[in-house]
């Protein structure tokens, strides 16, 4: 937390009240004076976006020593005070004058094409593609470069950049209510630029708007406009020419998708050489990475390869967090072509201003330091089937300690030799960098008010809630977010926040204002589109509470097992596909849980989490221990000492086995007088403890339920014959939608992202086998899981973490 301090014009230290441009609703008078947002938010704000203290300690020490928060800046709020002129005419053209006065770093092409063509990497790729006899005219080789010439000649024209920036400001003013930029780390970015280190901005792909927001924010703060990697398939030659003159690196005209372009060895070689030349010129880059598929990570692998070869001394990576009040409608799909950009812009301009955008620029850190420090260890990475199959199939009580290898985030392209690593450890390190940047970009993303309301409606009040209870829970959840050092992207009184959020979410909610009720009743609309929209917004809250969510699921499973063994089930417990008993009476959790049991269950659950949830520099064992400790800090678990003569229900304790500890703190040491075997916990008994438990349990239910449903869908396959990966994904997605429609609930488990993540998890588990034939990947059920018995074991293992 840091103090907020104002230091200039239009640099607000606190976010403005979110009540502008709000539509009038029939129930708005029902929300009267309630509790306001905690006043401490106006004095202190969480500091996000700092470097990783473990991977890059030297970069962390370079942070400027400001003790005050530098505030926010709304890019759409431009007036005459930001120009050198004054007067009534200036007030009408202040946006034009402001953009014309911004500093733009031009980037002419000069002889870049010749340098790229003369690189050994491109020469080898041309020779392999053309296969011409020695001494033959090389004109045929260079003709292969014709589709890529426009990409090599991408440049930044100062005049066109200013015009496009003015047009973007006008367009965004008709789309968004405000675009707030957190200025806390801007001095560090200016300092890194002065030191001569090229900056590489990395963000999570959410919408095509991301590619325009980052250059616009940097231009308005006198930072170098980056070359933007934008995987769009643009057919219009005029539009391609304009975008390439403002630094946008598009897909080649002959490639419909990003994956198709990367399969071309010549394209990959040319792009690697182009990145080298841009970094030599001192240019900045902006790269988007998909948190689901990892697409975009190949650009980071290229940069790391150049640093390893010595072609580039070093670069500074800057994770960027972008938050929207409304989930993006134009998601960037890597395997499908994007709609024509002009059509997309025309649809965008017809929309009314809805919601705000929050941009957080993190502290830059050295990529070379991360690679050479050895702090981000990958020697413990193991295939997922080695980690979980012994537990699932053989019901072994001990797991193999290690971290899940996710090499599919950076797929090996047999036709792209420059991206193939010499060893698995080098390749895993490139994947670790991609994972670390996905985690860092997600961690520095502010939580918007619509995310708070969506998470409460999905995870706590799925059957409906009154506005008074919703106001109380939003205030509680806000305090929990600030306690976990997570910033929020809104301000104002609580009635304004609730009204603003419900107005934006109104198409996805059912709001009933009955005369017999004091407060309106709010229920999520039971449709696939509405629930998926709310689920996408709630993911930011889930990322904040991931430690508690993992710990609570492990605690709930352990408590259920203990109840079964010791005294039977004493409360109503239900999981998807597993029925429990219903016993009348109050819900009590009078059971003692051993630390190793909790850690074991949390460890197994960590292996099933999607990428980007936890940092790769932290071991899975340490993350599982932190998950259990987080429940103690938030009051869900109570640590207690149990005498030796009282039995502790700990199924994973065996006589003669060695205990283990895992910690990332080099100065950590257990007390000699403390016996780890005696450490045990009991679930707290406050009145709201069950509600808190179920709220956290439901956060990961969508992901786990999709995995459970996908396993069940394998039983309905017509034959075990392999199908292409695209066909298999389409069929699984269709089955998930049919299952959700049949049950008329759990629509958050039938998204395309959930289907993709579930299929990828089954591939890593060895349930599905990949075979490559003539450049096409086919998927089929492995012989081990063609047995219905093994599929049932897998389904039981996943379904034990599902609670309703």
In this structure, the answer to whether residues 435 and 478 fall within a common structural domain is no
Highest mean pLDDT among 262-266, 559-563, 688-692, 734-738: 734-738
Domain assignment present for residue 568? The answer is no
Looking at the structure, tell me whether residues 322 and 466 fall in a common domain: no
740-746 LR contacts (CB < 8 Å, sep 24+): 740/528, 741/528, 744/526, 745/526, 746/576, 746/701, 746/702, 746/705
**CB-neighbour burial class of residue 131 (10 A; exposed 0-12, middle 13-18, buried 19+):** exposed
Q: Residues 108, 252: one domain?
A: yes
Q: Are residues 437 and 509 in the same domain?
A: no
Quote the tokens at residue 229.
Answer: 């990697």
324 with 251, same domain: the answer is yes
Does 345 score more than 70 pLDDT?
no
> Are residues 407 and 296 both part of a single domain?
no
Q: Measured between alpha carbons, how far is 314 from 199 in angstroms, rounded to an integer? A: 10
Same domain, 289 and 434: no
Structure tokens at 615: 């940092």
- 3-class SS of residue 156: strand
- Residue 410 CA: distances (Å) to CA of 228, 424, 429: 20, 12, 11
Helices 546-562 and 620-633, packing angle to 10 deg: 80
Assigned token pair, 165: 């920036």
Q: Count CB atoms within 10 A of the CB of residue 670.
A: 11
Question: And the tokens for 637?
Answer: 């678990």
Distance CA 554, CA 602 (A): 5
CATH code at position 777: 1.10.10.10
Out of 259-268, 336-345, 432-441, 482-491, which region has the weakest mean confidence (pLDDT)? 336-345
Q: Look at residue 688 in the predicted model and tell me its pLDDT.
A: 56
Query: pLDDT per residue over 129-145, tens digit each?
Result: 766 445 445 555 667 78
Q: Are 711 and 736 in contact (CB under 8 A)?
A: no
CA dist 98 and 103 (Å) reads 10
Residue 665: per-residue pLDDT: 47
Q: Give pLDDT tens digits for 234-288.
A: 888 898 999 999 999 999 988 888 888 888 889 999 999 999 999 999 999 999 9
Q: How far apart are CA 241 and CA 493, in angstroms?
A: 48
In a domain, 236, yes or no: yes
User: Bridge partners of 597?
Assistant: none
Residues 438 and 459 reside in one and the same domain: no
User: How are beta strands 248-249 and 285-289 bridged, if at all?
Assistant: unpaired
What letter would DSSP give residue 160?
H
Q: Can you give the CATH number for the domain in which 223 is found?
A: 3.40.1130
Where is the domain boundary, 480, 495, 525?
525
Q: Bigger pLDDT: 245 or 395?
A: 245
Decide: helix, strand or coil at residue 681.
strand
Task: Kindly state whether residues 198 and 123 are assigned to the same domain.
Answer: yes
Residue 323 lies in a domain: yes
Angle at 178 between CA 175 and CA 180, to 5 degrees: 135
Please state, in angstroms and as integers, the Cα–Cα distance from residue 319 to each residue in 234, 296, 777, following that order: 27, 14, 33
- Residue 430: give the domain boundaries: 381-413+421-444
What radius of gyration do the chain's Cα atoms show? 27
| Residue bearing the bigger pLDDT, 342 or 440 | 440
Give CA torsion, residues 388, 389, 395, 401, to 10 deg: -40
Does 339 fall in a domain? no
Asked if the structure places residue 710 within a domain, the reply is yes
Out of 480, 509, 525, a domain closes at 525
Angstrom distance (rounded) from CA 651 to CA 391: 13
Decide: 182 and 358 in contact? Cβ < 8 Å: yes
Which segments of 195-292 does DSSP mark as H helices, in order? Answer: 210-220, 237-244, 258-262, 265-280
Q: Does 482 lie in the same domain as 399?
A: no
The kind and range of the H/E element at 496 are: helix 494-505
- As a whole-number percent, the residues of the chain with pLDDT over 70 amount to 76
Three-state SS at 249? strand
pLDDT on residue 6: 41
* Phi, psi dihedral angles at 286 (to 5 degrees): -130, 120
- The length of the chain is 804
Residue whose C-alpha is closest to residue 317's, from 424, 215, 189: 189
Residue 533 covered by a domain: no
What does pTM read for this prediction? Answer: 0.86
Tell me the mean pLDDT in the region 398-405. Answer: 75
Q: Is residue 666 part of a domain?
A: no
Q: Are residues 397 and 482 in the same domain?
A: no
Better-scored residue on pLDDT, 495 or 589? 495
As given in the structure block, the two tokens for residue 483 are: 């306690």
More confidently predicted of 427 and 91: 427
168-215 pLDDT, tens digit each: 998 898 888 899 999 888 988 998 888 888 999 999 999 888 999 999
As a whole number of angstroms, the distance between CA 283 and CA 105 comes to 9
- Which of 344, 373, 402 terminates a domain? The answer is 373
């003790």: which residue's tokens? 67
Binned at pLDDT 50, 70 and 90, residue 373 comes out as confident
Q: Which of 260, 230, 616 is closest to 407 using CA atoms?
A: 616
Q: Which residues contact 206 (CB under 8 A, 6 or more apart)?
A: 322, 324, 328, 331, 332
Q: How many domains is the chain partitioned into structurally?
A: 4
Residue 616 belongs to a domain:
no
Q: Say if residue 187 is in the same domain as residue 252.
A: yes
Q: Tens of pLDDT along 660-718?
A: 444 444 444 443 444 445 578 887 766 656 677 788 888 999 999 999 999 999 887 65
User: Within 251-378, where are the H helices?
Assistant: 258-262, 265-280, 297-309, 341-349, 367-372
Residue 4 to residue 117: CA distance in whole angstroms: 52
């Amino acid at each position: 937390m840091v103090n907020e301090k104002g230091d200039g014009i239009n640099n607000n230290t606190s976010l403005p009240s979110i009540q502008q441009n709000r539509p009038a609703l029939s129930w708005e008078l029902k929300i009267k004076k309630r509790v306001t947002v905690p006043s401490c938010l106006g004095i202190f704000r969480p500091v996000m976006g700092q470097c990783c203290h473990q991977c890059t300690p030297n970069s962390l020490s370079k942070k400027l020593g400001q003790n005050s928060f530098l505030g926010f800046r709304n890019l759409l709020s431009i007036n005459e005070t930001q120009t050198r002129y004054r007067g009534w005419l200036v007030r009408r053209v202040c946006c034009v004058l402001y953009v014309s006065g911004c500093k733009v770093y031009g980037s002419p092409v000069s002889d870049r094409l010749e340098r790229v063509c003369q690189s050994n990497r491109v020469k080898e790729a041309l020779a392999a593609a053309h296969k011409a006899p020695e001494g033959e005219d090389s004109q045929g080789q260079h003709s292969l470069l014709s589709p890529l010439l426009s990409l090599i000649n991408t440049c930044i024209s100062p005049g066109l950049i200013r015009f496009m920036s003015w047009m973007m400001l006008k367009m965004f003013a008709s789309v968004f209510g405000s675009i707030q930029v957190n200025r806390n780390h801007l001095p560090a970015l200016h300092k890194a630029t002065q030191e001569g280190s090229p900056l590489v901005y990395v963000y999570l792909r959410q919408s095509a708007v991301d590619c325009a927001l980052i250059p616009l924010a940097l231009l308005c703060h006198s930072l170098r406009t980056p070359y933007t990697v934008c995987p769009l398939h643009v057919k219009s030659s005029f539009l391609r020419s304009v975008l390439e003159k403002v630094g946008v690196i598009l897909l080649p005209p002959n490639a419909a998708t990003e994956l198709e372009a990367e399969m071309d060895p010549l394209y990959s070689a040319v792009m690697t050489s182009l990145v080298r030349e841009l970094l030599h010129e001192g240019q900045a880059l902006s790269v988007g990475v998909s948190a689901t598929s990892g697409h975009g990570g190949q650009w980071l692998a290229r940069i790391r390869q150049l640093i390893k070869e010595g072609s580039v001394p070093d670069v500074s990576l800057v994770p960027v967090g972008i938050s929207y009040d409304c989930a993006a409608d134009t998601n960037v799909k890597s395997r499908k072509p994007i709609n024509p950009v002009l059509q997309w812009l025309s649809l965008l301009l017809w929309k009314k201003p809805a919601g705000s955008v929050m941009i957080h620029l993190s502290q830059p850190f050295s990529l070379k330091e991360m690679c050479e420090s050895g702090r981000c260890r990958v020697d413990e990475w193991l295939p997922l089937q080695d980690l979980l199959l012994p537990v699932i199939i053989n019901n072994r009580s001990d797991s193999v300690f290690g971290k899940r290898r996710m090499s599919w985030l950076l797929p090996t392209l047999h036709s792209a030799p420059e991206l193939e690593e010499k060893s698995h450890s080098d390749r895993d390190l490139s994947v670790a960098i991609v994972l670390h940047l996905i985690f860092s970009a997600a961690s520095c993303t502010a939580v918007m008010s619509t995310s708070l309301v969506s998470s409460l409606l999905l995870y706590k009040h799925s059957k409906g809630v009154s506005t008074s209870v919703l106001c109380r829970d939003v205030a509680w959840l806000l305090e929990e977010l600030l306690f976990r050092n997570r910033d929020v992207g809104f301000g104002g009184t609580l009635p304004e926040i609730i009204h603003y959020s419900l107005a934006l979410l109104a198409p996805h909610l059912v709001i009933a204002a009955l005369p017999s009720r004091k407060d309106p009743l709010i229920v999520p609309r039971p449709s696939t589109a509405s629930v998926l929209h709310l689920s996408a917004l709630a993911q930011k809250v889930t990322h904040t509470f991931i430690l508690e969510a993992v710990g609570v699921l492990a605690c709930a499973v352990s408590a259920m097992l203990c109840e079964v063994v010791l005294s039977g089930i004493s409360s109503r417990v239900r999981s998807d596909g597993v029925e429990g008993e219903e016993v009348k009476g109050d819900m009590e959790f009078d059971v003692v849980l051993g630390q190793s049991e909790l850690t074991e269950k949390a460890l197994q659950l960590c292996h099933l989490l999607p990428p980007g949830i936890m940092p790769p520099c932290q071991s899975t064992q340490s993350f599982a221990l932190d998950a259990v400790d987080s429940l103690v800090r938030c009051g869900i678990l109570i640590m207690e000492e149990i005498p030796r003569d009282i039995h502790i229900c700990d199924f994973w304790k065996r006589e003669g086995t060695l205990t283990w500890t895992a910690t990332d703190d080099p100065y950590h040491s257990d007390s000699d007088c403390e016996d780890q075997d005696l450490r045990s916990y009991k679930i707290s008994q406050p009145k709201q403890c069950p509600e808190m438990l179920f709220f956290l349990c439901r956060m990961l239910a969508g992901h786990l339920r999709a995995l459970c449903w996908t396993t069940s869908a394998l039983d309905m396959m017509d034959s075990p014959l392999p199908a292409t990966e695209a066909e298999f994904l389409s069929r699984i997605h269709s089955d998930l939608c049919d299952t959700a429609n049949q049950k008329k609930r759990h629509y958050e488990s039938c998204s395309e992202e959930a289907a993709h993540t579930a299929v990828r998890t089954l591939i890593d588990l060895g349930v599905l086998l990949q075979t490559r034939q003539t450049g096409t990947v086919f998927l089929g059920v492995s012989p081990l899981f063609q047995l219905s018995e093994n599929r049932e074991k897998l389904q039981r293992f996943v379904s034990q973490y599902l609670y309703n």
